[in-house]
Chains A and B, each alone.
Chain A
Amino acid sequence: MQPVDAPVRPVPRPDAAVPAVEVTGLRRRYGAFEAVRGISFAVQPGEVFALLGVNGAGKTSALEVLEGLARPDGGTVRILGADPHLERAAVRPHLGVLLQSSGLPGDLSVRETVSTWQRTLTDPRPVDEALGQVGLTDRADVRVRSLSGGERRRLDLALALLGRPRVLVLDEPTTGLDPESRRAVWGLVHEMVDGGTAVVLTTHHLEEAEELADRIAVLRAGLIELSGTPAEIAGTQPSTIRFSLPADAPALPALPGADVVAPGPSVDVHTRALQADLTTLLTWAADHDVELGGLQARAASLEQAFLAVADGTPVPTR
């Protein structure tokens, strides 16, 4: 963290025994519909945990309990060891929340908005520091009504960071931001994490999850379908070798365990043994003097894994 961000209050040593966020068997129900059907995860100080999932997967419903805005219908949530709803007063000074969408009065200026919020917090940053953090210093005297969508989102973020939170909950932090602002937000999250803050975020942008998250959980219909590091999650899907064959090519070599899809001259090989199968293919091509046109070989991306789960394709286990 930058020196300017150094907290005034003594930051307690992260307590290894108590995770910053601990969710156990969380359920949420709206009438007969169960939006969250028993999910569990824990986030340590200095760690970023991303919840992925299509709209309606239950991400926001789960976060609302972490934020203390809703009671769970089952299971427990602990923020720094305390219940965010029942022990609100203890949790709130340490919790920063960015809602997926929320409003601000349009007729206050940016500075007035931040300083009003600041006066309600236990240990706030100075207003100028908060504005500088999100690049709104030049817009301080502009009415909120006149801000662009991206500027408004950055103001939201400034308010979420204003109380120097030890736990930060970000519901789609960069939706609607241009690529440059998005990178700036990523930088801020990295800074907070370096200072020991635990972050739980949701996002639709898989590259955002890859960039920020130490661990990811993919949520589908209220259940965690898949969780792990971005690399582990991507690894649940096979790698792909793609090339095209000349018409007179001899039969391909045997690739045990691989799934060869060859509708015409172009061939897709889905394999969990990328290096071995690629070696077999290249050796075969060299031996038979065959040119593999447009040869590509790549490991599965997080996006592939995400789409597989979001589509409901069963996830193969290794």
Chain B
Amino acid sequence: MSAAITAAHAPVDAGPSRVSRTLALAGAELRLFLRNRTAVVNSVLLPLLLVAAVPALGIGEEVGPVGPQLVVTAIGVMLVFLTYYNLLTTFVARREEQILQRMRTGELTGLEVVLGIAAPTLLVTAGQIAVVALGVAVIGEWSAPVDVVLPVVALLCGAALMLMLAAASTAFTRTSESAQITALPLLVISSSLCGLFFPLSLMPEALATAARYLPLTPVVELSRLGLSGRTWDGDVVDLAGAWSAAPLPLAVLAGWLVVGAVLARRGFRWAPRR
């Protein structure tokens, strides 16, 4: 660093920390979210509908409490349809409004800008999953999880992965409307092959094996191992069994986090294309 700046910098108190800078932006973003009535109503309504659907459909009456499976579903669905999709459209909208470029002219770093903008979506994701968990407890469909560590790891890493994939997807998403198309690979392919909507064990073996390497599948597998005590092909396991089935999905998830970080760094664009 040059003498000029060091000399200038020395007597100055250090500025706000990275965390407080990020929180300043996150606070403003949260305020913006709360001022958007439609978004607020939607995010409260969605998980309640999911819970309300259980008695209405009369599912799960033969195999014991359906609650844990519903929470697994909530984790998978929210991460893709809320975290990923919402973040993608938000990043692109902020970019096209030239807000991102402005944020970069200050002391905020790129990572701080991204995290600050993502904060409301991440909070809503956590809130919705909590509402679903609470809801199934209220309707009496809850049962104690086999393990809590695996689902928590799955949720945190899954959210981080969705954030990175959303950032990476901005590279090929020109407007927030075109996200309806560019988000389809993850929204349709990965979520239909993650084992939520139909069991991987019913698929041809080659397809099932391939599906286990898609980004959302390990999140669902790990959540299910911990919350329902079931493996991807339907075996019932205890705590030890859950952990002994965990290494593959954990490794796949870790691999995706690395890939996601690289893609996000390379693909994220700050300014509209001219």
Residues of A within 8 A of B (CB): 9-12, 15, 18, 67, 69, 78, 80-82, 87-94, 97, 99, 101-105, 107-108, 112-113, 116-117, 119-123, 159-160, 163, 166
Given B99, B105, B112, which contacts A97 in the complex, CB threshold below 8 Å?
B105
Given contacts A10-B11, A18-B4, A90-B1, whether A108 and B28 have CB atoms under 8 Å apart is yes
A122 touches B1 (CB 8 A): no
Establish whether residues A15 and B3, one from each chain, have CB atoms under 8 Å apart when the complex forms: yes
Chain B residues numbered 7-51 whose CB sits less than 8 Å from any CB in chain A: 7-9, 11-16, 20-21, 24-25, 27-28, 31-32, 35-36
Closest 6 CB pairs of A and B: A81-B2, A122-B15, A119-B24, A103-B97, A102-B102, A97-B105
User: A94 near B101 (CB under 8 angstroms)?
Assistant: no
Complex contacts, A88 vs chain B, CB 8 Å: 109
Contact of B98 with A by CB under 8 A = yes
B270 cross-chain contacts in A, Cβ below 8 A: 69
A93 touches B28 (CB 8 A): no
A97–B3 CA distance with the chains assembled, in angstroms: 23
Which chain B positions have C-beta within 8 A of A10? Answer: 11
Q: Is the CB of A18 within 8 A of B1?
A: no
Q: What's the least CB distance linking A94 to chain B, in Å? A: 7
Distance between Cα atoms of A82 and B4 in the complex (Å): 8
Within 8 A of A (CB), among B89-112: 94, 97-99, 101-102, 104-109, 112
Contact A82 B36 (CB under 8 A): no
List 5 A-B pairs, Cβ < 8 Å: A91-B5, A102-B99, A119-B20, A121-B15, A159-B106
Whether B5 and A82, one on each chain, are in contact in the complex, defined by CB atoms closer than 8 angstroms, is: yes
> Shortest distance in angstroms between A278's beta carbon and chain B's nearest beta carbon?
49
B105 engages A15 (CB within 8 Å): no
A112 touches B107 (CB 8 A): no
Contact A18 B15 (CB under 8 A): no
* Contact across chains for A9 and B12 when beta carbons are under 8 A apart: yes
Known: A102-B101, A112-B28, A119-B24. A93 touches B2 (CB 8 A): no
Q: Measured between alpha carbons, how far is A229 from B99 in the docked complex, in Å?
A: 36
Interface positions of B (Cβ within 8 A of A)? 1-9, 11-16, 20-21, 24-25, 27-28, 31-32, 35-36, 94, 97-99, 101-102, 104-109, 112, 270-271
In angstroms, how far is the closest chain A Cβ from the Cβ of B271? 8
A116 touching B24, Cβ below 8 Å: yes
B5 CB, min distance to chain A CBs, angstroms:
5
Q: How far is the CB of B133 from chain A (nearest CB, A)?
A: 31
Partner of B1, one of A87, A102, A108, A159: A87
Q: Contact partner of B15 among A67, A93, A97, CB < 8 A?
A: A93
Task: Please give 4 more A-B residue pairs, beta carbons under 8 A apart, in addition to A12-B7, A121-B15.
Answer: A80-B5, A89-B109, A103-B97, A112-B31
B8's partner among A69, A80, A102 (CB-CB below 8 A) is A80
Q: Which residues of A contact B105 (CB under 8 A)?
A: 67, 69, 97, 99, 102, 160
Residue of B nearest to A119 (CB): B24
Residues from chain A with a CB closer than 8 A to the CB of B3 are 15, 18, 81
What residues of B have a CB within 8 angstroms of the CB of A123 in the complex? 12-13, 15
CB distance B106 to A121 under 8 Å?
A: yes
Contacting residue for A119 out of B7, B12, B21, CB 8 A: B21
- Chain B residue at minimal CB-CB distance from A14: B4
A99: B residues at CB distance < 8 A: 98, 101-102, 105
* Chain B residues with CB below 8 A from A102, complex form: 98-99, 101-102, 105
Instruction: Specify which of B99, B107, B271 is in contact with A105 (CB 8 Å cutoff).
Output: B99
Could you tell me the distance between the alpha carbons of A13 and B80 in the complex, rounded to whole angstroms?
55
Which residue of chain A lies nearest to B101 when distances are taken between CB atoms in the complex? A102
Task: Name the residue of chain B whose CB is nearest to the CB of A162.
Answer: B106
Smallest Cβ distance from B270 to chain A, in angstroms? 8
Shortest beta-carbon distance from A180 to chain B in Å: 25
- B262 to chain A minimum Cβ distance, whole angstroms, is 19
Do A105 and B2 contact each other (CB < 8 Å), given the known contacts A69-B105, A122-B107? no
The docked-state distance in angstroms from the alpha carbon of A104 to that of B94 is 9
> Which partner residue on chain B sits nearest A98 by CB separation?
B105
